[in-house]
Chain A
Amino acid sequence: MSEKLQKEVKEILARYPVKRSALLPLLNLVQEQEGYVSESAMREIAGVLDLTPAQVFETVTFYTMFHLKPIGTYHLQVCRSLMCALVGSDDVVDWIKKVLDIGPGQTTPDKAFTLSVVECLGSCGTGPMMQVNDDYYEQLTEAKVKRILDDLRRDGTSSMKSGPFMHPQPVRP
């Protein structure tokens, strides 16, 4: 562990009176750093939190955001729940397939993109939408999806991502 990471771990542990509470934050931290939660990371976290590796493992597998294997650099998560589906989320999957030639659960050969369909991400008024790594992209259209994917491939980010959320914008009389 780097010194910076150690400091961060210490700071996380200080938030809770019971060590195990730091489990999700530490797993989030690990996944942020390494892109997935490896077995050695689980062992290490178990050591830090006085847990058995099995206790870490059972927790990891309960939550859908943790990956036990490496995935693409950009994780495209398209919401497929009813509210987004009503406004065309199934099309988004098709649009992505057209550009990247991958379906749900697949990763592009260059390991740049992994596509998942996921359940509700809390963006129902601005669907269809997808989350790419930490960012939300909302009110998607085919052109927008194409541009986002291009941006990501080129710049590693896209200006199309959502900022602090407010919808609708207030109408000024």
Chain B
Amino acid sequence: MATTDETQTDLVTVTIDGKSIKVPKGTLVIEAARQVGVMIPHFCYHPKLDPDANCRMCLVEIEKMPRLQTSCSTPVAEGMVVKSGSSEQVETARKSVLDFILANHPLDCPVCDQGGRCDLQDFSHEYTATVSRFSELKRVFQKEYFSPLIETQMNRCVQCLRCVRYCDQVMDVKALAPVGRGTLTEIKAFGAHELDCEFCGGCVQICPVGAITSRMSMYEFRPWMLKRTDSICGYCGDGCQLTYQTKNNDLIEVSSTYGSGRNNGDLCARGYFGYQVSEHPDRLKTPMIREGESFRTVTWEEALEHVGQSLLAIKQKHGPDAIAGLITGRCTNEDLYVFQKFMRGIIGTNQLDSSVRSGHLAGIKALQRVQGTPRWTVAFEDILEADVLMLVGTNVTETNPITGLKVKEAVKRRGARLITIEALEPAIGTISNISNLASYHFSVRADRIHEAVLGFMKSVMETHGVDQEIRGGAAGFGNDIFSRLSGMPWSKLEQMTGYETSRFAEAAAVFCQGKKVVVLVGQGVLRSPGGYGTTMNLLDLLLLTGKMPRPGCGVAPLAELNNDQGAFEMGAVGEALPGGVPIDHAETRQALTRAWERSIPATPGASFPEILGRMKAGTIKALLMVGENPLGSLPPSSGVEQAMQKLEFLVCQEAFRTETAGIAHVLLPVATAAEKDGTFINTEGHLQTVRKAVEPAGESRPDWEVFSALSVMMDDPMEYLDVRDIGKEIRNLLPGTRVLGPAPMPPKPDSQTVQAYMAGEYQRDVAVRYRLPEGPEPASDELVLVLTQSLFHSGKFSLKANGLIKVESAGRLYVNPQEAGRRGLGEGDRVALHNSQGSVEVTIGFRERIPSGMGVFPEHFDGEICRLFPYTVDPETKSLVWKSTVVRVEPVPVLPGSRK
């Protein structure tokens, strides 16, 4: 391999146990040793953490150094000669460290869940720690209850503090405290309280011994009994790699591995503790057909026959457009692809939609319109390497926790500057708060994010003008937006956002200096009215500042569900074919027609709000519902109930009997993410493999099998051998799905599309996007009420995850304690919320991170409260927008004798 002079000076040669290697300057001896195959034992070292050199297990002999050195904290130097296994002195030192640790270690390996994968156990074997000469009494800690999910056994602790350091350095949560001093130090939560944190499970995973273990599967296994299956988490769009550990088809636990997956071994509560959803006793296990008020269990044959015949009958009687379908972005690409193929090719309609509509689509459409690709032009690596990061409308810690970790790492360890615009106060709580890390944070009410972005853009334009290159090539675009922004009075922007011009100017200066700038856009934008326009404006901002075509820069909308991105790319929306291209895209239509050997319907598709309308109007008679639950997730104001009641035929492919499934005519049990093979595309646009870890519950099947079987029943067979067979078909049609690997290769913006956009295409809606709203401000005693995602749940699906329910099992109206104080409300008080839609009673909870004037309710528990929400349909994305409303708050009088 040719090396340039430059790389040579950056490399140093070290010799470890006689093996020489060239490694980059600054590499730690322990890492250099790993590269030559010398494994240096250690407890406290972990590549994710700053070295602490406390356990003293990794001591090595280094020539010309007077005493043994810790290899975890010593960087290599040119010509360094290191002895590890080849030094007797080192051998003695390591043995003695084990001797010291074992002195106070309980030797309770037979009942310890770490047994079989315990570093202390392994090293004791390796160094044949002989009979301990410790004849004193061992340290014994009083057993304390730690948390419902995590067990501590402090007698086993080796005090390496990896848990504490992980909780601080990686998670930024800082929930764990080493309490006391010396040998009596133990890891605890605050005071006498049980642990209240993000429950990422990081402390469990990083503990080298059995001091911190999971309570989910206590005493149930030995590591060697477990079968490991690497797969991708089925909750959010981050697409974390996790390993399902199973025993006899039972899910025992989930783990992750440093260096693996887009998450690099990190997980969140949903990933680590949310796996039991597959094993919930409420799982649907057999197909069922409605008979009057109840269901009758039937065989798959009978169910499929019934569905196939019914659909055929409706199609024959009313035409294909009397049938519509809705699918969830939790499904695999293969499920999604076969679904839309079934709808288009077998039924013959474009009336299909998926969960991507309810948020992520706003981002995708904006990306596609401006840069010609529906994918990010950046990847997680670009977040890590960014010098300026901007987060708009995303409480990323709760919605996309692992993307959040990338942001934390970039800011905390790599010195990136962070600008955040989000309805969050920078308060410290039991979970981390990304705004605490921001250099500039704009804490604006949920309904003022658009205006804050306009203020920010105005400041950027006014202080730094338009980028030189843009000025030449697309002067009109720049001048137009500049003049629109100039026309907005600062006084009004200041009043709407609560921030002064100078504050915007300071943040703008930081933004403009950025060479690598990534703008993350979250639910606070994507699910709110005008969210598409805000995303478009942020793309404009990158274009105007010349950052957009540069590598490492981009706008990155965050996907809510694990495969929302895949839902769009597989064509599981009415207006797009596989590849995300418009329905009239001739080339694709041709290719599909050829591949499917079926014609593609030409009538434009319908979005779910439109489908709802047609259901109400009675033109849609049958609905194929795949993992979606409109009855349980849409506000009554949408008229969803009436629409569903009018259906002649409703089929639900579901894992649970949801509200919608409850009124179905046929129930078909389907597999969850842990029970099937396939692929997901994560929020970055990275295609990843999903592997079956356990057999589907009861008679459940993967969704694609159901569509395939139905096609047979409908005499138009669309058969596949297995999921790989579908994968092949997809790959042949869609070049973007051919890449499987450790990291995505983000597409570049399509320059023609960008040029066309700036040359005039932008004018289509520019007036709408660059306009300040005129509507009335909420009255001072009113509360802007927003439904948001909690860190501990994902839609309604995770409510079936036992572990997550132990952390969060009910919803409260969270308000700022000061806000509550002003209203004379205490934590736990009952209040009534009123608006024109109705009244609902809720319980008050406190969260310092919620700004005044706002109330937040976790959407997972919105059963009652969603009655208060009116809805609008976004004109551009055709999505139902309804997560925000305005309410009056009144205390509920406490009846005498009743307890609060």
Contacts and interface: CB of A to CB of B under 8 A. Distances in A.
**Any A–B CB pair closer than 8 Å:** yes
Interface residues of B, number: 17
Contacts of B188: 54, 57
B174 A57 contact: no
Contacts of B177: 54-55, 57-58, 61
A52 B181 contact: no
B176 interface: yes
Given A46-B428, A54-B190, A61 B180 contact: yes
A54 B174 contact: yes
B290 to A, nearest CB: 53
Interface majority SS on B: helix, strand, loop or mixed?
Answer: loop
A151 interface: no
Interface string B550-564: 000000000000000
Interface in B156-211: 164, 173-181, 188-192
Contacts of B173: 52
A39 B178 CA distance: 16
B191 A39 contact: yes
A22 to B, nearest CB: 16
Interface in A36-68: 39, 42, 46-47, 50-55, 57-58, 61-62, 64
B175 A52 contact: yes
B190 A57 contact: yes
Nearest to A55: B174
A62 B177 CA distance: 11
B305 to A, nearest CB: 60
A53 B428 CA distance: 9
B436 interface: yes
Contacts of A52: 173-175, 190, 428
B436 A50 contact: yes
Chain A interface residue number, banded? 10 to 19
Contacts of B164: 58
Contacts of B176: 54
A62 B188 CA distance: 13
B191 A42 contact: yes
A58 B178 contact: yes
B335 to A, nearest CB: 42
B157 to A, nearest CB: 14
Given A50-B436, A51-B428, A53-B190, A62 B181 contact: yes
A27 to B, nearest CB: 14
A52 B175 CA distance: 7
Contacts of A64: 181
Contacts of B436: 50
B191 A57 contact: yes
Contact of A61 (B175, B181, B189): B181
Q: With a 10 A CB-CB cut-off, give which of B164, B190, B192 has the most chain A CB atoms.
A: B190
A147 to B, nearest CB: 35
Contacts of B178: 58
A39, A47, A54, A64 pick with most chain B CB within 10 angstroms: A54
A53 B177 CA distance: 9
B428 A57 contact: no
7 contacts: A50-B428, A52-B428, A54-B190, A57-B179, A57-B191, A61-B179, A62-B181
Interface of A: 39, 42, 46-47, 50-55, 57-58, 61-62, 64
Pairs A-B, 4 closest by C-beta atoms: A58-B177, A54-B177, A53-B190, A52-B174
